[in-house]
Amino acid sequence: MVRVGIIGATGYAGGELVRLLLGHKDVDIKWYGSRSYVDQAYASVYQNMFQLVDAKCLDDNMEAMADQVDVIFTATPQGLCASLVNEEILKKVKIIDLSADFRIKDVSVYEKWYGIEHKAPQYIEEAVYGLCEVNREKVKKARLVANPGCYPTCSFLSVYPCVKEGLIDPNTIIIDAKSGTSGAGRGAKVDNLFCEVNENIKAYGVAGHRHTPEIEEQLGYAAGEPVLINFTPHLVPMQRGILVTVYASLKKDVTYEEVKAVYDKYYNDEFFVRVLNKDVCPQTRWVEGSNFVDVNFKIDPRTKRIIMMGAMDNLVKGAAGQAVQNMNLMFGFEEAEGLRMAPVFP
């Protein structure tokens, strides 16, 4: 059994990690870290775990945790993981960081977009960007995995084949993304109250959202050149789910079949990426509660653009599920272990 510690176990992503790991046959959760709820029963905070989890919440002491577990998940705001990690710890445990601390290779880009100083830049180079479908082999050997952001995961997987194969001009990419409200976290803010979110849709972070450079960096690797894009997230009155609608100019005339072949080339062997049938649009409801990403595309011959779409559960493939997928790779388990559940509908 792999012994697991979680820092930030009472956030939405942390709670989802608990749910998924409870269903993983090779895992034993040893440490439910939650600074806000220390000494309270975990199941009193997340009552769905009543009679399933007996433990109390503990603090965020990563050093103490490192002596008791094999892997630590940090499901906390940016800055915390970088401020806690050190060589002593990394010699004892593997770390899967769900925050943005180790996702961006250029520390100045990180510091500019996140507005904080990076406390552990010495580990940025080593950290592996944990997009399993792309970096599988590197993840297997990693000590420190930077679990990708929710929007970047869905955005990147939706366009990756087209960029990699040079079908589109990457600098024409416009990503219009829509997310459920769990992505905004469990903090008590007026903006996230039911009466403020319900019956409403809005854009936010327009031309300035922090996931932009993360997406651009990964697209740049695929394109083989620097890429600048537009990325606009929107808040949707639903709990879970991300949908991205991506627009880009085609470099040349292509048929549906040609593009489909490109998607199949990259995703035919990927269990968690489902290329839908022709003319079927991805919908968040069809992936809810699961680790799947559904993708598809539509060519518009009138404008010579292609519209690429992807749908995903932001808390699963966009956070906790991908983290478990990374853990499976790092510990030699089957990649889908604990993640085979079908989407829940309705």
The packing angle between helices 321-330 and 12-22, to 10°, is 50
Contact string 118-157 vs its own copies (x = CB under 8 A) = ----------------------------------------
Q: Which of residues 13-32 bind its own copies (CB under 8 A)?
A: 15, 18-19, 22-23
Nearer to its own copies, 68 or 192 (CB): 192
Q: Is 164 in the site for its own copies (CB under 8 A)?
A: no
Q: Which of residues 231-290 bind its own copies (CB under 8 A)?
A: 232, 234, 236-241, 243, 245, 247, 274, 276-277, 280-290
Minimum distance of its own copies from residue 212's CB (angstroms)? 9
d(CA 131, CA 96): 12
Nearest Cα to Cα of residue 196 among 144, 251, 235, 254: 235
Nearer to its own copies, 32 or 123 (CB): 32
Q: Is 103 in the site for its own copies (CB under 8 A)?
A: no
d(CA 313, CA 185): 14
Q: Which of residues 69-98 bind its own copies (CB under 8 A)?
A: none
Nearest Cα to Cα of residue 140 among 341, 325, 338, 346: 325
SS3 label, residue 71: strand
Catalytic residue, from 57, 81, 132, 150: name it: 150
- Confirm whether 132 is a catalytic residue: no
Residue environment code for 93-132, b if the CB has 16+ CB neighbours within 10 A, otherwise e: bbbbbbbbbbbbeeeeebeebbeeebebeebbeebbbbbb
d(CA 82, CA 124): 10
Minimum distance of its own copies from residue 265's CB (angstroms)? 17
Q: Is 300 in the site for its own copies (CB under 8 A)?
A: yes
d(CA 128, CA 95): 11
Q: Which of 174, 221, 331, 335 binds its own copies (CB under 8 A)?
A: 174
Minimum distance of its own copies from residue 160's CB (angstroms)? 19
Minimum distance of its own copies from residue 99's CB (angstroms)? 20
Active-site amino acid positions? 150
